[in-house]
Structure 1
């Protein structure tokens, strides 16, 4: 007797939450962003601010794709990517980037580029790092930012984002949404900085958080202060606080060509565990 094999993509809802968490938990470091979003906001699109697409094979959920400001495939092989690309093409581009493991994102972008291209930038190799080694001495002046210091931290966040991504984060709505995001990071105790005379001289935030892992983002030293030994002890301070107070596994990802940052992270005990690719629009 032949078994008819069927496969489809659909937007997931509450009844799919347990199965989605099972998939995400298979790689707590690689999936920390999507897992963090689901744990914070749930799976319903209205609360999540995104759709979570599921690839269903023979009635079983086998892959995911987070479709919000970022398009993020999770556990997606070639068959799932084909279906996700078809769904994304039908829906039209709503994201500002595609981010995820190299094979999945490369395949997804090859299928979408004729319809969505050209991209503003393609970051073909971004090592995913996890803090697994000894952490050096940390800067005692790096601390959690207070909400009253939002006006000090925000310009540093805007400068870092613009330098890293190539466009400012506060265009379009006058910066209200980005300001709210930075304020929320401060409010939840996930923004760290060394501030001297009303100026940020080192900063980093912890973006995605689950009980298993967290992801550091936004590491930055002002250009005129680089090369003065601020980044390693500053980063070490954030890593220690993250491990002690946030989650046992600390991760981040970095552009492969950013040799200065990669050197800093290596000195802070980070080693490569995976590789991402990003397509920026």
Structure 2
């Protein structure tokens, strides 16, 4: 076992039960961390990084997923300070810090002087959850995608990512990896879309799941078709399918300035539970 500093050490497979008890304190907000833990057994070679745990009297009280994303889990002020101290002892490897605003903002304040300036900070991202029936009629033409849809689906995924993140997922030779990720979602039945006359007009994906929740990502309608209700009816179809087949709660987080998307999700029946933040490098 690694020596603890400020009660923090790297978690491993033996810590999985305790980690799942921790994520269960807020299973919807923590769905990403729980998904990563369940699919990797907290083994660093499968994580592509580490999960740090902070202990108090032998009990796991907070954690941080540290891979491509740095994601705090149930982290209060003292936990944030301990994780920041550990992070400052190594070079930055993460591309984003993302999670509840109450943890991300103080964590970044402790890291900002020594980590490179971020490309963008999105402080106010309402975290939304749907746990009941959808409140509008689902679009009957939205369906799970198949490999046969890839020629239409993949360009839409690239366009969505570029618009949302500000850089193309194909930049720096990342196209093959991103295409593999799109295909992975298709093969799992986590990719949904509507096609009209040989054109994709709506899409969304499930990013991660647990027995408690599923998180939606990549909601997109071509710019020239926006304002016609495609996203509202499409999201109703996706949310209904996810609750029927994948998880009882459906979550997502959205930029506060995206008023059209927020209105659409509200019509479907999503309700805000907390505020997320993202620091992007």
Same fold (TM over 0.5): yes
Q: Give the deviation of 1:134 after TM superposition.
A: 4.5
Deviations 1:197-238 (A, max 9, x none): 332100000111111100111000000111122111111100
TM-score, length of structure 1 as denominator length: 0.95
Q: Give the deviation of 1:279 after TM superposition.
A: 0.4
Please tell me whether residue 225 in structure 1 is matched to residue 225 in structure 2.
Answer: yes
TM-score, length of structure 2 as denominator length: 0.95
**Contact 1:205–1:218 (CA under 8 A) maintained in structure 2:** yes
The residue number in structure 2 matching 1:33 is 32
**Contact 1:158–1:169 (CA under 8 A) maintained in structure 2:** yes
CA distance in 2, matches of 1:180, 1:97: 21
**Contact 1:7–1:57 (CA under 8 A) maintained in structure 2:** no
Q: Give the deviation of 1:106 after TM superposition.
A: 0.5
- Give the total of aligned pairs: 276
CA distance in 1, matches of 2:174, 2:120: 24
The residue number in structure 1 matching 2:186 is 186
The residue number in structure 1 matching 2:78 is 79
SS in 2 for 1:164: helix
SS in 1 for 2:27: coil
User: 1:1-281, aligned counterparts within 5 Å?
Assistant: 7-132=6-131, 134-135=133-134, 136-281=136-281
Deviations 1:169-190 (A, max 9, x none): 1212241111111100000000
SS in 2 for 1:247: coil
The alignment yields a C-alpha RMSD, in angstroms, of 1.2
